[in-house]
Amino acid sequence: MEDDAVLLVASTAPDEATARRIAQALVERRLAACVNVGAPVWSVYRWQGAIEQAQEFPLWIKTTAARRQALMQALAELHPYDVPEALALPAVDGLPAYLEWVRQEVKE
Amino acid sequence: MEDDAVLLVASTAPDEATARRIAQALVERRLAACVNVGAPVWSVYRWQGAIEQAQEFPLWIKTTAARRQALMQALAELHPYDVPEALALPAVDGLPAYLEWVRQEVKE
Amino acid sequence: MEDDAVLLVASTAPDEATARRIAQALVERRLAACVNVGAPVWSVYRWQGAIEQAQEFPLWIKTTAARRQALMQALAELHPYDVPEALALPAVDGLPAYLEWVRQEVKE
């Protein structure tokens, strides 16, 4: 994967305040160019043998391949869960000006 | 694609009860580690020559490449639509503990 | 990337009316088989040196690789932003009938 490949990283947080705090910190640290905190979702999942349900807030995080390790490390540090979700989805194309904007905004 | 590659499968359902029923069943059958049912979306699409609009509920399904065929088969069986949406988006990276959790929770 | 690869293109719009107008136009022009306009999201991002926050409406656009350039050109033309978001995420698999439906609905 090219270092300047743009990624959409999907995550969730237990409440809106936590989601916004994490989103703000990732942008401040230039680990994300933009983060969208979505409307609450209903989640169903297995945890330690039991099926559980919870309300969560999705985060859609725009970054680059080069910054993804630092981003996920910060996400783990900032997040209250022991095992927060972080799935990096690769963009195979996009509007050139937008892709370039993402790259510039996460440059160290 | 590696069998243990983690996928985010996007789908929709016509109402929240159906979305939650499908999500719960996929987790119970160990076809998904987690499913998020999102807030309602407004959909516009072509169907049999006409442009239609409808309210739908998005499902974001976390699974592995190895389980995707069984997952999509179950989705088609559980879903009221003749042609339900199912798009498998590959994660190229993620928090290792999270990726491993997904893999463990959908193991047969 | 194969021409008939199906893509999920992520974008956002500043308000619901704009999001729906763009979505409708993309389907009418056979540039998208389906577009979901999501519930409002809270966005945080850097713009011209400052960190800003705004409410946006997400668009999830289903198209093919062959139509993505024309889609993004139309998105840029229809969109009020100077640099609208457009990230094309590749589907590596899906329900065959659904993938085929997307391909048919965006055929020129």
Structural domain count, chain C = 1
Assigned domain for A86 exists? yes
C65, part of any domain:
yes
The C-alpha atoms of residue A57 and residue B6 are separated, in whole angstroms, by: 21
Question: Residue B1 domain-assigned?
Answer: no
Asked whether residue A1 is domain-assigned, the answer is: no
**Closest residue to C90, CB basis, from A20, A38, A92:** A92
| One-letter-per-residue 3-state SS of chain B | CCCCCEEEEEEEECCHHHHHHHHHHHHHCCCCCEEEECCCEEEEEEECCEEEEEEEEEEEEEEEHHHHHHHHHHHHHHCCCCCCCCEEEECCEECHHHHHHHHHHCCC
Q: Is residue C1 part of a domain?
A: no
Neighbours of A49 (CB within 10 A): 5
pLDDT tens-digit map of C46-104? 999 999 999 999 999 999 999 999 999 999 999 999 999 999 999 999 999 999 999 99
CATH number, position C98? 3.30.70.120
Quote the minimal CA–CA distance from C83 to chain A in Å. Answer: 6
What the block records as the tokens of C76 is 């840029």
Residue A25 belongs to what domain range? 6-105
Q: Is residue A23 part of a domain?
A: yes
Domain-located, residue C10: yes
Asked if residue A55 has pLDDT above 90, the reply is yes
CA distance A43 to B25: 13
Q: Comparing C-alpha atoms, which of C16, A10, C96, C86 is closest to residue B38?
A: A10
Residue B43 confidence (pLDDT): 98
List Cα–Cα distances, B34 to B27, B95, C14, in angstroms: 6, 15, 30
Asked whether residue C68 is assigned to any structural domain, the reply reads yes
Whole-complex ipTM:
0.97
CA of C67 vs chain B CAs: smallest distance (Å):
16
Interchain pair B94, A76: CB under 8 A: no
Q: Does B72 sit within 8 Å of C95, measured CB to CB?
A: yes
Return the number of other C-beta atoms located less than 10 Å from residue A53's C-beta.
13
Beta bridge partners, B63, equal B7
Considering only CB atoms, A46 lies closest to which of B8, B16, B27, namely B27
Minimum distance, in Å, between the CA of residue B101 and any CA atom of chain A: 8
Beta strands C87-90; A93-94: pairing state: antiparallel
Tens-digit pLDDT profile for residues A18-33: 999 999 999 999 999 9
- Residues of chain B neighbouring A56 (CB-CB closer than 8 A): 36
